[in-house]
Chain A
């Protein structure tokens, strides 16, 4: 079955560490997205990628970085510059930037600072 796989499901980060969250899709979607979810805040866009080798900052990009070297993969790195990284992170994809009608989410990664 096609879908989006996020790993790991749970991740613990020590102060000052960088951590990378994985997102892989086999839906042949061009566009991919990373959202952060905090209680009562809804979904906030971190970064998005319209196509391979291209990505743009979203509303809360500070302290995060991404890469899009392959169509299937869009990893997110939470750097030490992100002062409050504890949150639930969701990856999503859609067929293309122009077509959001097949917007699909992964199952999320819960990141906790210890």
Chain B
């Protein structure tokens, strides 16, 4: 059974950094691209970033390019979202999402979602 569990959320001051992790289980992790998506309070979904199954490339939304970095560690079946220079508008629930199908060289449909971790940026 596919399972994604995010962690690392919390309250952080503007300008600071935060590292989110997503632990994956129940599938061949090294075969799947992974996404991060966020949802601000009372707002819609916003796609943030994607990493290819082999880690060779990452893609970012314009809103976070240069501040957020996504990486993966196949040995621990984990993806990480490193967030820097945080702003109040980064306050949201952050979801880790697995691609729908394996071994693709570009984004696929967002197949399985974690339950999310909440990030609050506030002084």
Q: Do A and B come from one complex?
A: no
Q: Which of A's residues lie within 8 Å of B, judged by CB?
A: none
